[in-house]
Amino acid sequence: MVCRWIKIRGFVMKILNVVVSKEIGGIQNRILMVAKKLNPDIKTIILTPKSKGDFLDIAKNEGFMVYQSFIESPKFFSSLKGVGKNILWFLYFPLAVKHIVKVTKKERIDIVHVNGLLALQAVVAARIVKKPIVWHLVSTIYPKSLVLLLRPFITRWANKIVFVTHKTVFYYLGKKYQKEKVKIIYEPVDTKYFDIKEVSEEKKTSVREEFGIPIDHKVVGVVGNITHQKGLEYFIRVANEVKKRSRLKIKFLIVGGKSKGHEDYYNKLQILIKKLHLENDIIFTGRVPYLQDVLSIMNIFLMTSIAEGTPLVILEAMAMGVPVVATDVGGISEQVADGETGIIVPPRDPNAISKAVIYLLEHPEERGRMGKKGRERVKKMFSLERCVEEHRKLYESV
């Protein structure tokens, strides 16, 4: 085992953690949280795309060694800009492999931990320098043909394949696979940080004032980068249905930044809001540095995604005691216990989703019960401490 061998040598194990998205999100937060807890016995070096993004700055500010390479994920949409980026991705592929090989040798990396299906440059580099590969697969956004194309490389080249839910195992590997290679590690939540008891009433009032939300209004919100997979057009249509059917005063919060490359999608959302006359009902907050404070004013966390892995923010909302209404995509149904900690709804169905939202809005005792159960579930199954220990065992087993 690599870890035991390193301890005998008296050296610290070094992990190269590779991520192809430059924006901060669930995967990036998990990398940072787990790496900080594993240090100093296991040291994490991070590799990100060459272009600028907030993850780079956050990781550096938290003291991590960060390298950049030409590894940004190719695009899957038919525009000239997207085609151009894909061409560059192929052209830069050998340069990225060469650079990652160099980094791996320089830092004396022991294990290459690849996050996502398309960090292929890091996989090839690890093969060249004969380093073990941990391949961490999360999202279900990829075309099935691409997954089938890459499946043989995943199963043959990875020493360990990590999934965030049992559902995603079948999505990537099908029915036949080497069970000894597969490990399930749920995404983690720091339940000490995400705790409603840590947010004062004054802070809640301050957040409401910042976004212009009267104290007598209920709040239905979502958190995430503004991208197509988040299905925010359905969030907006649900807001419209709820407004028409409910007599309650409600504000709808969309918490998250405009992702680079998704500007057209954001503009379409704005057009839809104007068409439905929801300008005074839906609030875009942008990115916030105090997520637990914003979650504390939500009565319902509503996620209308059309594709996901296991969104970390759902667990953060549950940890804050907020009941969840979320679409049945990816591994969300393994996070949310339907009828216990929230309500699972079909994707792309504003009518069904709005019914679930209205039910919870009109039954405060049910919201309270689900919120309490949600926090209990997170502490039992999705704690940061458990995730850290699972990563430690993972690295020791490679």
Total domains, the chain = 2
CA–CA distances in Å: residue 18 to residues 21, 122, 147, 333? 9, 7, 19, 27
Considering the domain architecture, whether residues 204 and 179 belong to the same structural domain is answered as: no
**175 and 51 housed in the same domain:** yes
Q: How many residues appear in the chain?
A: 398
List, in sequence order, the alpha helices (H) in 107-246. 120-128, 144-157, 167-173, 201-210, 232-245
What is the DSSP secondary-structure string of 262-312? -HHHHHHHHHHHHHTT-TTTEEEEE--S-HHHHHHT-SEEEE--SS-S--H
The answer on 372 and 302 residing in a single domain is yes
Assign residue 208 the CATH number of its domain. Answer: 3.40.50.2000
Q: What is the pTM of this model?
A: 0.83
245 near 354, Cβ under 8 Å?
Answer: yes
Same domain? For 213 and 322 the reply is yes
Q: Same domain for 154 and 205?
A: no
149 and 79 in a single domain? The answer is yes
By the 8 A CB rule, do 330 and 312 touch?
no
Range of the domain at 89: 2-188+383-397
CA distances (Å), 304 to each of 76, 178, 234, 317, 327, in order? Answer: 21, 34, 6, 15, 5
Residue type, 282: I
- 204 and 277 housed in the same domain: yes
Query: Are both 293 and 212 inside the same structural domain?
Result: yes
Give yes or no: residues 312 and 341 share one domain: yes
CA distances, 61 to each of 40, 55, 66, 147 (Å): 18, 10, 10, 35
Burial class (CB in 10 A: 0-12, 13-18, 19+), 135: buried
**48 and 86 assigned to the same domain:** yes
* Mean pLDDT, 10 residues at a time, the chain of 398 residues: 48 93 90 96 96 90 96 66 77 96 98 96 98 94 93 97 93 92 95 96 98 98 95 98 97 91 92 98 95 98 94 96 96 96 98 98 98 97 95 96
Q: Are residues 171 and 203 in the same domain?
A: no
Per-residue pLDDT, 5: 45
Output the CA torsion sign for 186, 323, 296, 221. positive
